[in-house]
Amino acid sequence: MPDQKNLELGIIGLGKMGGNIALQALDKKIRVAGKAICKRPDLEEKGVKVFTEYESFISYLKKNPKLIYLSLPAGRTIDKVLEELLPFLQGGDVIMDGGNSFYLDSIEREKRIWNKNGIYFLDCGTSGGLDGARNGACFMVGGREEGIKIAEPVLKSLAVNKDGYMHTGHPGSGHYVKLVHNGIEFGMLQAIGEGVELLYKGGNGFNLDLAKIFKNWSNGSVIRGWLVELMEKGLVRRNFDDVQSYIEDTGEVNWLIQDALNKEIPIPVISQSVMELFKSRNKVSETYKAIALMRHGFGGHPFGKDEYIAKERQTSRINKI
């Protein structure tokens, strides 16, 4: 782990992910300031310095160049915040977009901000869910080498371990790698969900204990992993029959499928997983209940319909494929 002495980070957006990253930064002795629309007493009482306007937020950060992490919804929100933020920054400062922005949007933003302002813009794919944000995340980051060098000490400190951070390459590559990651995630969720339905309905009247099975699979089986562990925990904590099978998502994997179609790259498993997600909105199924349970476990995603997420699904990509 790098030396945390004098490390400093500004975070814009103190929701579930940004707030947890701020708390982790405090734990790692990183001086942190947060910018939010309104005060956050829940974070402030834990030591996070929260500002509601940009001038005092940036003034609180004493180290130069400034390092700013955006934890915001993809789409026009990013551009609006950049427009408001950039007048307070100087050439050589670094902005990291830690959300799930479309990689072509990130390429366009990086080019515009660098050419006009001389400010580094890094596309910082961030994975690990709420637990990762709080205790150690996985970062896959694209951008210019000089900007990466400035951001690396903080990102390495906030990563789960030394291999939980990587510079993926050119601008846009971090968000592209994260997009592919999310596609793989969808395929894995679908496979596990179908397995749950087989255990629930199949067999020969075995009346299987699903939670114990997933606990067993978490210990030495070929399919062991965090999603299997989350399935076991979800089954223990909730009555599975009461879980809603309607799955909302913000639509990133749709972009991946469209991109693959244009480049004639076959991705049948990922494509079918998205079709199944669409079907979850019209059909009740144990498969979809299982996926909803796992998604809630790693990302705090809601059960059932959510108008805000449904709207974000339509607005989070700017550039067309």
Spatial separation of the C-alpha atoms in residues 291 and 36, rounded to whole Å: 31
- To the query of whether residue 49 is one of the catalytic residues in this protein, the response is no
Q: Which of 178, 252, 286, 289 is catalytic?
A: 178
Cβ atoms 68, 12 nearer than 8 A: yes
The distance of Cα 115 from the centroid of its chain, to the nearest Å, equals: 28
* Residues near 36 by beta carbon (within 8 Å), at least 6 away in sequence: 13, 14, 50, 51, 52
Q: Which of 35, 66, 110, 185 is catalytic?
A: 185
Nearest-5° Cα angle at 44, 38 to 45 = 135
- To the query of whether residue 178 is one of the catalytic residues in this protein, the response is yes
Amino acid at 194: E
Q: Say how many Å lie between the first and final Cα of the chain, rounded.
A: 39
Cβ atoms 121, 110 nearer than 8 A: yes
Structure tokens at 251: 């639509």
Spatial separation of the C-alpha atoms in residues 31 and 4, rounded to whole Å: 9
Spatial separation of the C-alpha atoms in residues 137 and 298, rounded to whole Å: 12
Among all residues, which ones are annotated catalytic? Answer: 178, 185
